[in-house]
Amino acid sequence: MRMKLKDILEKNGYEVAGEAQNGQEAFDKYQVEKPDLVTMDITMPEVDGLQALKMIKQADANAKVVMCSAMGQQGMVMDAIKSGAVDFIVKPFDTERVIQALDKALS
């Protein structure tokens, strides 16, 4: 799924600054790269996406994070929004919805 999202982003003019396999790695890379926007899965090994979101927002209150979720994770999506995510996209990814969410987050 990460590769599919990367493909959608690059084909639509976005630059992917980095990728992470788990929430801790996502936080660490955020600290170094300071990207304009983060897309992150809710379900990740070691440190999950919700915890990584909280870590990123604690380190940078202005961070823009769009969470990715599977169908049936509505409760977790609501937790992510309450924790500071600016939007969410549902897997499997729809290109139009992905771009809409990113444009909204960056505006």
pLDDT, tens digit (0-9, with 9 covering 90-100), for 97-106: 999 999 999 9
The domain locations on the chain are: 2-15+37-106
Separation CA 106–CA 104 (nearest Å)? 6
Mean pLDDT of 2-26: 94
Backbone angles phi and psi of 105, in degrees to 5: -65, -35
Separation CA 39–CA 27 (nearest Å)? 12
Exposure of 93 in the CB half-sphere (CA atoms within 13 A): 23
Task: Give the pLDDT confidence score for residue 48 in this predicted structure.
Answer: 93
Q: What percent of the chain has pLDDT over 70?
A: 99
For the 2-15+37-106 domain, the top CATH level (class) is alpha beta
